[in-house]
């Protein structure tokens, strides 16, 4: 394809929603060829849900999450319920010779398609096969159905989010998906490095629940060893004050400020103009500030509320204190740091015109990305069948006629 990191690498993507697709997008962004296998019969939540351009809710071609989750890929639409659909996948495995196959179905579904690790390994002995699901491939709860919100709640993240005087409010949406995106990539690249030396593939069994618990290891040790259940604390920090989110002028505008040391405290007081209360007995020591943290936060809030969040971020940072606007969606697209990195860039889209696409979160000194726009649903059906599998036009027409290749007519609700 070109000289990027993964040029020549081939991946079959059976992932749904976010975890697996995003991981493979970030590999595709550096040169790998990724074919995403989809279907109109059960469109991926990234096409059927989320935000839609022009607020055209539910219109597949206006789905907003594609440039986030599936850039740089090919898309084919197969009905895996039909034997000929499964046969196309088997031919892709034997003829196209993918290096990686990734899937995020419930355990057992790929076996029903005749595409579990054992079967695929027979066709391609050194395949690197990544299975990612909520609770892993085996165990008493492995059939629990789940998208990211389930792993977020199951793994303790929600319990830790919110205010100590209220029930857990939950980390938003599919927070629990994205540590698995990252660790999934790590497993794949490690396996590729080993395969270069040993010629051997591997089956990766990733439980997204276990990934999140793994990340929260310190919380688990606190319970195992000290018998203490760590709880949510708003924006508190065990050894810092002020440490919080404060109201600013404007509607629902907030700034985060973290005073982590004595030097920070001095810098913070300089910005406030050294009001008397900062020198009082109550607040001139960390122990005092922790003991009177509610009152402290109120006093800080009285100062912040008349200024803009941007103003406070700048004033605090000039004085050596960590502060950042609590950024909203709008702020993210106006963020000058993200702009510097070109995290979002304008691209041409065949239906939406000029829109933003999202780039991966790395910068390499010697290798560049190969990022391209995300595919429309089934955009590469003909390319895959004709150019990769070298099928004749007759064969391809038959596949359409038999519903093996799904089309817009197969969308739920289509007449």
State which of positions 1-30 bind another protein (CB under 8 A).
Answer: 5-6, 16, 18, 22, 26, 30
**167 lies in the binding site for another protein (CB under 8 A):** yes
348 phi/psi in degrees, rounded to 5: -90, 130
- Closest approach of Cβ 368 to another protein, in Å? 11
Crossing angle (nearest 10°) for helices 178-198 and 208-215? 100
Residue choice 250, 275, 350, 412 for contact with another protein (CB under 8 A): 412
In the complex with another protein, which residue's Cβ is closer, 114 or 170?
170
- Closest approach of Cβ 244 to another protein, in Å? 7
Q: Alpha-carbon distance 65 to 46, whole Å?
A: 6
- Closest approach of Cβ 153 to another protein, in Å? 4
- Closest approach of Cβ 247 to another protein, in Å? 7
| Contact of 351 with 54, CB cutoff 8 Å | no
- Closest approach of Cβ 390 to another protein, in Å? 28
242 phi/psi in degrees, rounded to 5: -70, 145
Residue choice 106, 282, 290, 382 for contact with another protein (CB under 8 A): 106
DSSP one-letter string for 241-257: SSEEEEE-SSTT-EEEE
Eight-class DSSP state of 240: B
Interacting residues with another protein between 267 and 306 (CB under 8 A): none
Residue choice 12, 34, 89, 211 for contact with another protein (CB under 8 A): 211
Binding to another protein by CB under 8 A, coded x per residue (else -) over 217-246, reads xxxxxxxxxx-xxxxxxxxxxxx---xxxx
Per DSSP bridges, beta strands 344-349 and 202-207 are unpaired
Which strands form 243-247's sheet, in the order they lie side by side?
243-247, 254-258, 322-325
Residue choice 13, 33, 44, 293 for contact with another protein (CB under 8 A): 44
In the complex with another protein, which residue's Cβ is closer, 227 or 273?
227
- Closest approach of Cβ 344 to another protein, in Å? 8
Q: Alpha-carbon distance 170 to 304, whole Å?
A: 27
- Closest approach of Cβ 129 to another protein, in Å? 9
Q: Binding residues for another protein, how many (CB under 8 A)?
A: 170
Residue choice 197, 281, 401, 415 for contact with another protein (CB under 8 A): 197
- Short-list 89, 73, 48, 76, CA closest to 411: 48
- Closest approach of Cβ 207 to another protein, in Å? 7
Stretch that binds another protein, among 181-189, 269-277, 282-290, 395-403 (CB under 8 A): 181-189
Q: What is the largest CA-CA distance in the chain?
A: 87
Q: Alpha-carbon distance 84 to 356, whole Å?
A: 37
Binding to another protein by CB under 8 A, coded x per residue (else -) over 124-163, reads -----------xxxxxxxxxxxxxxxx-xxxxxxxxxxxx
- The answer for residues whose C-beta is within 8 angstroms of residue 413's C-beta and 6 or more apart is none
Residue choice 2, 294, 354, 366 for contact with another protein (CB under 8 A): 366
Interacting residues with another protein between 53 and 92 (CB under 8 A): 53-55, 57-58, 62, 64-65, 68-69
- Closest approach of Cβ 267 to another protein, in Å? 9
Residue choice 2, 83, 166, 276 for contact with another protein (CB under 8 A): 166
- The answer for residues whose C-beta is within 8 angstroms of residue 321's C-beta and 6 or more apart is 257, 258, 259, 264, 267, 268, 271
Residue choice 114, 168, 288, 403 for contact with another protein (CB under 8 A): 168
State the Cα angle at 106 between 202 and 159, rounded to 5°.
100
In the complex with another protein, which residue's Cβ is closer, 65 or 391?
65
- Short-list 315, 369, 374, CA closest to 341: 369
**174 lies in the binding site for another protein (CB under 8 A):** yes
- The answer for residues whose C-beta is within 8 angstroms of residue 80's C-beta and 6 or more apart is 37, 39, 86, 89, 113
Tokens read off for 65: 């999450």
Helix (H, G, I), strand (E, B) or coil at 400: helix
Binding to another protein by CB under 8 A, coded x per residue (else -) over 306-335, reads ----------xx--xxxxxxxxxxxxxx-x
- Closest approach of Cβ 3 to another protein, in Å? 9
Residue choice 117, 296, 371, 399 for contact with another protein (CB under 8 A): 117
Interacting residues with another protein between 249 and 268 (CB under 8 A): 254-258, 260, 264
Tokens read off for 170: 């939950």
């Amino acid at each position: 394809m070109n000289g990027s990191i993964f040029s020549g690498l081939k991946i079959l993507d059976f992932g749904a929603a976010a975890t697996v697709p995003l991981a493979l997008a970030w590999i595709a962004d550096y040169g790998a060829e990724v074919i995403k296998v989809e279907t109109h019969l059960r469109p991926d939540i990234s096409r059927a849900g989320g935000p839609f351009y022009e607020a055209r809710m539910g219109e597949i071609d206006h789905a907003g999450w594609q440039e986030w989750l599936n850039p740089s890929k090919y898309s084919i639409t197969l009905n895996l319920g039909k034997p000929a659909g499964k046969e196309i996948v088997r031919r892709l495995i034997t003829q196209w010779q993918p290096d990686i196959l990734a899937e995020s179905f419930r355990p057992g579904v790929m076996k029903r398609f005749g595409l579990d690790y054992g079967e695929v390994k027979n066709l391609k002995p050194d395949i690197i096969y990544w299975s990612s699901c909520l609770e892993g491939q085996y165990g008493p709860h492995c059939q629990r159905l789940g998208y990211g919100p389930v792993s977020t709640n199951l793994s303790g993240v929600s319990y830790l989010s919110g205010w100590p005087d209220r029930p857990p409010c939950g980390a938003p949406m599919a927070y629990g998906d994205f540590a698995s995106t990252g660790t999934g990539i790590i497993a794949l690249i490690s396996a590729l490095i080993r395969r270069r030396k040993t010629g051997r593939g591997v089956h990766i069994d990733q439980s997204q629940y276990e990934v999140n618990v793994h990340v929260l290891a310190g919380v688990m040790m606190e319970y195992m060893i000290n018998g203490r259940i760590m709880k949510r604390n708003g924006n508190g920090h065990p050894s810092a004050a002020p440490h919080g989110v404060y109201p600013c002028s404007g509607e629902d505008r907030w700034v985060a400020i973290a005073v982590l040391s004595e030097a920070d405290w001095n810098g913070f007081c300089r910005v406030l103009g050294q009001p008397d209360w900062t020198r009082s007995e109550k607040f001139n020591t960390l122990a005092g500030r922790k003991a009177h943290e509610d009152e402290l936060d109120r006093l800080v809030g009285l100062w912040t509320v008349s200024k803009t969040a941007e103003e406070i971020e700048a004033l605090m940072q000039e004085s050596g204190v960590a502060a950042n606007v609590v950024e909203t969606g709008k702020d993210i697209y106006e963020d000058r740091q993200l702009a510097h990195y070109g995290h979002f860039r304008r691209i041409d889209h065949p239906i939406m015109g000029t829109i933003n696409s999202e780039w991966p979160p790395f910068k390499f000194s010697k290798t560049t990305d190969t990022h391209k726009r995300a595919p429309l649903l089934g955009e590469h059906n003909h390319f895959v069948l004709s150019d990769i599998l070298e099928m004749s036009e007759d064969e391809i027409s038959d596949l359409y006629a038999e519903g093996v290749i799904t089309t817009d007519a197969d969308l739920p609700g289509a007449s």
